[in-house]
A and B are shown apart, each in its own frame.
Chain A
Amino acid sequence: MAEAKSSPASEPTRRDMLFLATGAMGAAGVVALAVPFVRTLAPNAQTIAAGAPIEVDLTPIPEGQGIKLFWRGKLIFVRSRTKAEIEEAQKVNLASLPDPQADSARVKPGKENWLVIYGSCTHLGCIPGGSAAGEVRGDYNGWFCPCHGSHYDTSGRIRKGPAPANLPVPPYAFLSDTKIRIG
């Protein structure tokens, strides 16, 4: 460096060139290595494979009650809704909802009595109660999350409390009238 300064034209020296080339190579290497290091934290092949679709038999679920099951490590609620519950879900004024979504967009046509939703509160992930008869169902007759007080309605939509969004609907399809496949 001292040499470079003393030369009047201060032309780039070979050392400057080496410095830039080495620096660029080193930086590229660090970035290239950072990617695999971070990628190791992603869900591994086994975890992803465990997310293969599952089939669920609906016959044992009595009307007005629900079951809980796991898919991809996440809890899913399947609820058999009563007539009154379906009506309640359908007649809500959408504009009054924190996360507006029609009940028809959350169930399959002709199968309005079956509600299939993820069971982790969209606030911070606790499990709202209300699936089994006898559990606290909250102000809107659906589910109630005890952690910070979120109330969900009979369509699993957020109505009151800190949760920002409705309980999402997982991908699923009816294989027959009494059987669904999730995934």
Chain B
Amino acid sequence: MSGPSSYVPKLGIAKWLDARLPLPRLMYDSFVAYPVPRNLNYFWTFGGILMLMLVSQILTGVILAMHYTPHATLAFTSVEGIMRDVEYGWLMRYMHANGASMFFIAVYIHIFRGLYYGSYKAPREVLWILGVIIFLLMMATAFMGYVLPWGQMSFWGATVITNLFSAFPIVGETIVTFLWGGYSVDNPTLTRFFSLHFLLPFMIFGVVILHVWALHVTGQNNPTGVEVKAVAKDTIPFTPYATIKDAFALVLFFAFFAYFLFFIPNYLGHADNYIPANPAVTPAHIVPEWYFLPFYAILRAVPDKLGGVLLMFAAIAVLVVLPWLDTSKVRSMSYRPLARQCFWAFAVTCVMLGWLGSRPAEGIYVTLSQLFTALYFAYFLIALPLLGLFETPKKLPGSIAESVLGKMKGGSGAVVGAAAPAEPNTKG
């Protein structure tokens, strides 16, 4: 999407189209000739996996929507109808429900990849912020999707989460009434959530296009965090190198997905959601889906209602300003001995918060939640701003090529093969 194009249409029709709508040129430059750093590891395959998960959610979702009835008295039965009466309906629903979980597994790996290798730093701030927006939209989509089957967890999850907004002074109650379209979570809530659940994935699709656009302007980061210096030496063309690597990782990921789908399709769900919604009885133990647990733990760590809500939103907002909180010029944690330890402590913190979010909010769990919430914020607000000033980073390799090939100045065969097609591009 940037730099001079190396696309040369051969067929007459290709030339004709190129002069009118150069879509094949865009595709060629973005996914064939596009130069990628030669040292990318498998953590860089999750972007492609995420794209396919989005496509999978949209495909299964459109099919589900054909058989689903968005009405408080019919929704639960219609989902059971999908499971029992629609041919392969069970497969569509399990793909969609487990697909949401897989989507989040992939996005969390993708985000932690960015945190470890410093992909949020200049010049990739906009790329990073677009990613945070996608993450927010995904959370909104998944939350509203989970309400649609209208089981007990759907209903009470919706009640608890929409009530979060009542914490805001003065306008809170009005916001909640407008979210519900009534005086409690009820049919009007279900129908508007269905409409939005249908819409949001297409908005995600739009932001993904911007995300990829921004990526192709700055080029990809890489495990050393050193920018591409000489395209010919430091990069290889997307096709075939990245294409096959992405495809291989994708197949492994889908095998993992298939294991959940065919052997433990309800493992990540809650049994209570197979009980139809009952506004008079709250299940004894309400827990959100696993991917919301760390944020849920932060919410409950604060004894004050408004404080808890604000802190939970702050946990995501802090990601937006992260590019300006980290003061170090060195991107990759591989070259930052202290920051790297903090990173792993942060990763453990997130897992602990996730676990605590699934425990009842009492006794030692509350204290622990408070401790780990403090650690979560300390990583962004104390560790990263200060470490950049005090830490002595390890020596960085002179270039990507040097880090891969040693100091041989690119004498290996791979370079020859890579250099030619990537030649015309000046910048990744």
Contact = CB atoms under 8 A, between A and B. Distances in A.
A44 B188 contact: yes
Nearest to B303: A162
B181 A125 contact: no
A147 B184 contact: no
Given A38-B178, A41-B181, A149-B361, A70 B305 contact: no
Interface string A37-57: 010011110010001000000
A146 B285 contact: yes
Contact of B184 (A68, A74, A124, A163): A74
Nearest to A129: B282
Contacts of A125: 159-160, 162-163
Nearest to B158: A125
A164 B360 CA distance: 19
A164 B305 contact: yes
A43 B282 contact: no
Contacts of A127: 280-282
A82 interface: no
Contacts of B186: 47, 73
Nearest to B284: A146
Nearest to B192: A41
A47 B181 contact: yes
A28 B284 CA distance: 50
Nearest to B184: A73
A72 interface: yes
B280 A75 contact: yes
Given A43-B183, A127-B281, A147 B192 contact: no
A123 interface: yes
A148 interface: yes
Interface string B160-182: 10111000000000000111111
A158 B362 CA distance: 17
- Could you say which interface size class chain B belongs to? 20 to 34
A126 B286 contact: yes
Contacts of A162: 300, 303-305, 308, 361
Contacts of A74: 183-184
B376 interface: no
Interface of A is mostly: loop
B279 interface: yes
Contact of B163 (A42, A47, A124): A124
B158 to A, nearest CB: 9
Contacts of A145: 282
A9 B177 CA distance: 56
Interface in B255-299: 279-282, 284-286
Contacts of B362: 149
A120 interface: yes
Contacts of B282: 126-127, 145-147
B156 interface: yes
A51 B177 CA distance: 14
- Could you say which interface size class chain A belongs to? 20 to 34
Nearest to A128: B282
Interface string A143-164: 0011111000000000000111
A148 to B, nearest CB: 5
**Which one of B181, B282, B305 has the greatest number of beta carbons of chain A within 10 Å?**
B282
Contacts of B284: 146
B156 A126 contact: yes
A42 B181 contact: yes
A165 to B, nearest CB: 9
B286 A70 contact: no
A146 B360 CA distance: 9
B169 to A, nearest CB: 11
A38 B175 CA distance: 11
Contact of A72 (B183, B280, B300): B183
A43 B188 contact: yes
B14 to A, nearest CB: 41
A43 B279 contact: no
B183 A73 contact: yes
A110 to B, nearest CB: 30
A72 B182 CA distance: 8
Contacts of A41: 178-179, 181, 192
**Which one of A42, A75, A148 has the greatest number of beta carbons of chain B within 10 Å?**
A148
Interface string B135-170: 000000000000000000000100110111000000
Nearest to B360: A149
A43 B361 contact: no
Contacts of B159: 120, 124-126
Contact of B160 (A38, A47, A126): A126
Interface string A97-127: 0000000000000000000000010011111
A123 B305 contact: yes
A148 B181 contact: no
B257 to A, nearest CB: 32
B285 A47 contact: no
Nearest to B308: A162
Interface string A6-47: 000000000000000000000000000000001001111001
Interface string A68-96: 10101111000000000000000000000
A120 B192 contact: no
Given A41-B192, A47-B181, A123-B305, 6 more contacts: A74-B183, A123-B163, A125-B159, A126-B286, A146-B282, A162-B300
11 contacts: A43-B183, A75-B279, A120-B159, A126-B160, A126-B282, A127-B282, A148-B300, A149-B360, A149-B361, A162-B303, A164-B305
Please provide the 4 A-B residue pairs with the shortest distance between their CB atoms, ordered closest to farther. Answer: A73-B184, A125-B163, A126-B282, A124-B163
